[in-house]
Structure 1
Amino acid sequence: MLSFFFRNRSETPEPLKADVSGSIPTWLQGTLLRNGPGLFSVGDTSYRHWFDGMALIHSFTFKDGGVFYKSKFLKSETFKKNTAAKRIVVTEFGTMAYPDPCKNIFAKTFSYLLNAIPDFTDNNLINIIKYGEDYYASSEVNYINQIDPLTLDTLGRTNYRNHIALNLATAHPHYDDDGNTYNMGTAIIGFGRPKCVIFRVPVNASEKGMKKPALKQVEQICSIPFRSTLYPSYFHSFGLTENYIIFVEQAFKLDILKLATAYFRNINWGSCLKFDKDDVTVIHLVNRKTGKVLSTKYYADVFVAFHHINAFEEDGHVVFDLITYKDSNLYDMFYIKNMQKDIDKFIETNKDFSPPSCQRFVLPINIDEETPPDTNLVKLQDTTATVVLRQDGSLYCTHDTLFEGLELPSINYKYNTKKYRYFYGSRVEWSPFPNKLAKVDIVTRKHIEWVDEDGYPSEPVFVASPNAVEEDDGVILSSVISLNPQKPPFLLVLDAKSFTEIARASINASVHMDLHGLFIRDTST
Structure 2
Amino acid sequence: MTRAKSGKSGKSGKSSRKSSISEKPSITADSSTAAKPSITSKSSSDKPWPYAAGYDNTPEVLEPAPLTVKGTIPPWLEGALYRSGPGYEIQKGGRVSYRSRYTSNDLRERYKKAEAITGVTFCQRDPCKTAFQKFFTTFKMAAFGGPKMGGTDTNVAVIPTINFPGLMDDPDYKKKKGKAGPRNLVMTTDGNALQELDPITLEPLRLFSYGAIDDSLNASNLAPAHPCVDPDTNEYFTVLLTFGPTALYKVVRIRQSIKGPEYEPDLDVLAEITSPRPTYMHSFCMTKRYVVVCHWQCDFAASGVSVLWYGNAWESFKSHDPNVKASFYVVDRHQGRHVATFEADPYYAFHTINSFDDDGDIVLDIAAYKDHTVIGDYYIENLRNETGGKPPQQAMLRRYRLRNIAEQAALSYGKKGQPQPVPAQIDFQLDESVNFELPSINPSRYLRNYRYAYGVNRSGMNKTLIYDRIIKVDLDKIKSGAKHSSSATFWMEDQCTPSEPVFVPTPNSTEEDDGVLLSIVLDGRRRTGFMLILDAKTMKEIARAEMPEGTVAPHNFHGVYVPNSVAA
Give the TM-score, by structure 2 length: 0.73
Amino acid at match of 1:289: H
Amino acid at match of 1:73: Y
Amino acid at match of 2:423: L
Alignment CA distance shift 1:336-1:97 (3 Å): closer
Amino acid at match of 2:293: F
The answer (yes or no) to whether the contact 1:180–1:202 under 8 Å persists in 2 is: yes
Question: Which residue, 132, 138, 141 being the options, matches 2:188?
Answer: 138
Following TM superposition, by how much is the alpha carbon of 1:402 offset from its aligned partner in structure 2, in angstroms? 4.1
The answer (yes or no) to whether the contact 2:248–2:272 under 8 Å persists in 1 is: yes
* SS of structure 2 residue aligned to 1:329: helix
Amino acid at match of 1:126: V
Alignment CA distance shift 1:59-1:148 (3 Å): farther
Residue 461 (structure 1) aligns with = 502
* SS of structure 2 residue aligned to 1:332: helix
Write the mapping of 1:89-128 to structure 2, written as runs, cut at 5 A.
89-96=118-125, 117-118=144-145, 122-128=154-160
* 1:83-112 per-position Cα deviation (integer Å, ceiling 9, x unaligned): 4556533442113389xxxxxxxxxxxxxx
Residue 316 (structure 2) aligns with = 272
Following TM superposition, by how much is the alpha carbon of 1:77 offset from its aligned partner in structure 2, in angstroms? 4.0
The answer (yes or no) to whether the contact 2:143–2:192 under 8 Å persists in 1 is: no
Following TM superposition, by how much is the alpha carbon of 1:354 offset from its aligned partner in structure 2, in angstroms? 3.2
Following TM superposition, by how much is the alpha carbon of 1:468 offset from its aligned partner in structure 2, in angstroms? 0.9
* SS of structure 2 residue aligned to 1:337: helix
* SS of structure 1 residue aligned to 2:107: helix
Residue 12 (structure 1) aligns with = 61
The answer (yes or no) to whether the contact 1:89–1:97 under 8 Å persists in 2 is: no
Question: Which residue, 363, 366, 387 being the options, matches 1:322?
Answer: 366
Following TM superposition, by how much is the alpha carbon of 1:32 offset from its aligned partner in structure 2, in angstroms? 0.4
Residue 521 (structure 1) aligns with = 563
Give the share of equivalent positions with the same residue, in percent: 27
Alignment CA distance shift 1:340-1:455 (3 Å): closer
Following TM superposition, by how much is the alpha carbon of 1:220 offset from its aligned partner in structure 2, in angstroms? 2.6
Residue 354 (structure 2) aligns with = 310
User: How far apart are the structure 2 equivalents of 1:396 and 1:86?
Assistant: 49
Unmatched 5+ residue regions in structure 2? 1-48, 128-139, 166-182, 409-419, 479-486
1:410 is aligned to 2:440: yes
User: How far apart are the structure 2 equivalents of 1:143 and 1:468?
Assistant: 37
User: How far apart are the structure 1 equivalents of 2:203 and 2:366?
Assistant: 34
1:355 is aligned to 2:394: yes
The answer (yes or no) to whether the contact 1:9–1:510 under 8 Å persists in 2 is: yes
Instruction: Give the superposed CA RMSD.
Output: 2.9
Write the mapping of 1:475-486 to structure 2, written as runs, cut at 5 A.
475-485=516-526
Question: Which residue, 546, 555, 559 being the options, matches 1:506?
Answer: 546
Alignment CA distance shift 1:354-1:524 (3 Å): closer
1:491 is aligned to 2:531: yes
- Please identify, of 15-24 and 128-137, the stretch whose mean Cα deviation from structure 2 is larger: 128-137
Following TM superposition, by how much is the alpha carbon of 1:285 offset from its aligned partner in structure 2, in angstroms? 1.1
Question: Which residue, 236, 253, 264 being the options, matches 1:200?
Answer: 253
Amino acid at match of 2:542: I
Residue 21 (structure 1) aligns with = 70
* SS of structure 2 residue aligned to 1:271: helix
* SS of structure 2 residue aligned to 1:20: strand
Following TM superposition, by how much is the alpha carbon of 1:152 offset from its aligned partner in structure 2, in angstroms? 1.9
Alignment CA distance shift 1:189-1:266 (3 Å): closer
Residue 345 (structure 1) aligns with = 388
* 1:146-198 per-position Cα deviation (integer Å, ceiling 9, x unaligned): 112321221111122333412111121222233524332333258x8322222
Unmatched 5+ residue regions in structure 1? 37-56, 99-112, 370-391
User: How far apart are the structure 2 equivalents of 1:283 and 1:455?
Assistant: 37
Amino acid at match of 2:365: D
User: How far apart are the structure 2 equivalents of 1:277 and 1:219?
Assistant: 37
* SS of structure 2 residue aligned to 1:443: helix
User: How far apart are the structure 1 equivalents of 2:207 and 2:141?
Assistant: 18
User: How far apart are the structure 1 equivalents of 2:509 and 2:115?
Assistant: 51
* 1:350-375 per-position Cα deviation (integer Å, ceiling 9, x unaligned): 5xx53211011112225769xxxxxx
* 1:275-321 per-position Cα deviation (integer Å, ceiling 9, x unaligned): 32210011111111121111x32111110011111111122211111
Residue 481 (structure 2) aligns with = none
Give the TM-score, by structure 1 length: 0.79
User: How far apart are the structure 1 equivalents of 2:258 and 2:252?
Assistant: 13
User: How far apart are the structure 1 equivalents of 2:333 and 2:290?
Assistant: 5
Residue 389 (structure 1) aligns with = none
* SS of structure 2 residue aligned to 1:394: strand
Give 1 or 2: higher strand fraction: 1
Question: Which residue, 340, 343, 348 being the options, matches 1:299?
Answer: 343
Residue 376 (structure 1) aligns with = none
Residue 255 (structure 1) aligns with = 301
Question: Which residue, 431, 436, 441 being the options, matches 2:474?
Answer: 441
1:245 is aligned to 2:291: yes
Amino acid at match of 1:335: Y
The answer (yes or no) to whether the contact 1:490–1:507 under 8 Å persists in 2 is: yes
1:31 is aligned to 2:80: yes
1:152 is aligned to 2:208: no
